Amino acid sequence: EVDAEMLVDGDAGSTSDWDDRWNHIKKFLERSGPFMHPDFEPSTESLQFMLETCKILVIGAGGLGCELLKNLALSGFRNIHVVDMDNIDVSNLNRQFLFRAKDVGRPKADVAADFINSRVPGCFCPSFYLYLEFHIIVCGLDSIVARRWMNGMLLSLLVYEDGVLDPSSIIPLIDGGTEGFKGNARVILPGMTACIDCTLELYPPQINFPMCTIASMPRLPEHCIEYVRILQWPKEMPFGDDMALDGDDPEHIQWVYQKSLERAAEFSITGVTYRLTQGVVKRIIPAVASTNAAIAAACATEVFKIASSAYLPLNNYMVFNDVDGLYTYTFEAERKENCSACSQVPSDLHFSPSSKLQEVLDYLTESTSLQMKSPAITTTMDGKNKTLYLQSVASIEQRTRPNLTKTLNELGLADGQELAVADVTTPQTVLFKLCFTS
């Protein structure tokens, strides 16, 4: 993981600010207006807070991240940290405008910080940080798992006293997401408003083509590529027995491309290209720069509103879609009473005592409200921790695999038993209560 800190404009002593540099911001903060937050008193303090104190963490320095960093830096935020695990790829350059051809291969976070600092002189130093240090966190991620993890992290920082949430422990999360011509921006006050997991049903699992179409009646070039990916690759194993198809390996893609062409020719289907092959194999949805710009603008505005307290923030979910015309609306996503991430109550798992552990595992991964990736299930029996199933460590997986075919009864689990589940979608262990159905 690479992260970088940038102090846009340098520290207070060596600031390159020119007179009236922040005039455009002052207009919002130092005078009253009809859209102001009812409790806001115009003053010079908000701007000082934004320029000097407010510490923002931007997660992701990709398409959304580049836009966010630029918008935030030009809105008067000078204490911005950026974190991104990726290095720059040549395919990023068309929209991730903080990067140049010479930067290919370098860490995105470093280059993004350097670029912003070069435009608005200052200093930048790599840093280790605690999430607690930040006033606001902004996510510009393309991964739902990473987004859920961050959501879980902020929920884990909440402090409850006698069941009452201490509001000072809340770090607002502004989340932006785009997919082609669609996007969304949302404001999450962890513990108070709907969290990412509360609305997990909004992220439907990947839609795949029906197998019968792929196998016997392909109509689209994508169907041919899927045929090769799903059926032909495992059968022919062109690069050795254990070699999984790697979407980043040009030789692999070339093989799938050639085979897909043959398949397409058989059914008189046109349109199979190398690029499409890679797109299908890697599940690439083309990025649209203007969608990123619109969503990042909305997110940066929300950061400004929350940091300055001058305006009411978005409540709480904005949808943007210009697939066909231009459509946008805002709604208030509601908290889910039994949200496994933020509700503080263990969710019930309803299973018959004769259900197998495999069925529980399938539920955890397939349920639209949970969508876990590789859950590890543990429980306490006779005062001891017992791992029922764990996938991520090969030796433990092997040892616990037989449990999957055992019934809950055979495993000695009782009605009301608590199961602790760990997964990559959250930094915290999620508690479930087993409720036996008859």
Q: What minimum distance in Å lies between the beta carbon of 373 and Zn ion? A: 18
Residue nearest to Zn ion (CB): 339
166 burial level (CB within 10 Å; 0-12, 13-18, 19+): exposed
CB of 366 to Zn ion, least distance (A): 19
Q: What is the binding site for Zn ion (CB under 5 A)? A: 195, 197-198, 339, 341-342
**Smallest separation (angstroms) from Zn ion to the CB of 339:** 3
Q: Which long-range contacts (CB under 8 A, 24 or more apart) does 126-131 make?
A: 126/2, 126/3, 126/4, 126/5, 127/3, 127/4, 127/5, 127/81, 128/3, 129/3, 129/5, 129/57, 129/81, 131/57, 131/157, 131/171
User: Which residue, 102, 95, 101, is CA-closest to 67?
Assistant: 95
Smallest gap from residue 370 Cβ to Zn ion (A): 12
CA distances from 216 to 119, 224, 234, 344 (A): 57, 10, 18, 49
| Catalytic residue of the set 54, 139, 198, 212 | 212
Q: Given the complex with Zn ion, which of 110 and 423 has the nearer CB atom?
A: 423
Neighbours of 311 (CB within 10 A): 17
Q: Which is nearer to Zn ion, 280 or 342 (CB)?
A: 342
Spatial distance between the Cα atoms of 309 and 28, rounded to a whole number of angstroms: 11
Establish whether 212 is a catalytic residue. Answer: yes
Q: Which is nearer to Zn ion, 276 or 341 (CB)?
A: 341
For 329, the 3-state DSSP assignment is: strand
Q: Which is nearer to Zn ion, 7 or 196 (CB)?
A: 196
Q: How far is the CB of 425 from Zn ion (least distance, A)?
A: 12
* Structure-token pair, residue 361: 């595992």
Nearer to Zn ion, 169 or 232 (CB): 169
Helices (H) and strands (E) in the chain, counts: 13, 16
Question: From the centroid of its chain, how far is CA 323?
Answer: 22
Nearer to Zn ion, 115 or 432 (CB): 432
CA 19 vs CA 24, 31, 50, 262, 386: distances in Å: 12, 19, 17, 67, 65
- Cβ distance to Zn ion smaller for residue 261 or 422: 422
Closest distance to Zn ion from the beta carbon of 298 (Å) = 22
Answer whether 8's CB lies under 8 Å from 117's CB.
yes
**Of residues 204 and 240, the one with the C-beta less far from Zn ion:** 204
- How far is Cα of residue 404 from the mean position of the Cα atoms in its chain? 30
Tell me how far apart the alpha carbons of residues 30 and 25 are, in angstroms, rounded to a whole number: 9
- DSSP per-residue codes, 370-395: T--SS-EEEEEETTEEEEEE--SSHH
Tokens describing residue 66: 């580049």
Query: Least distance (Å) from Zn ion to the CB of residue 342?
Result: 3
Sign of CA dihedral 333, 334, 340, 343: positive
First to last CA, the chain: 48
Work out whether strand 182-188 and strand 317-321 pair parallel, antiparallel, or are unpaired: antiparallel
Nearer to Zn ion, 113 or 339 (CB): 339
CA gap 261, 333 in Å, rounded: 45
Nearest distance from C-beta of residue 191 to Zn ion, angstroms: 9
Q: How far is the CB of 105 from Zn ion (least distance, A)?
A: 38
- Strand runs labelled E in 291-425: 317-321, 327-331, 347-351, 376-381, 384-389, 418-423
Q: E strand or H helix at 83, and its extent?
A: strand 79-84
Catalytic residues: 212
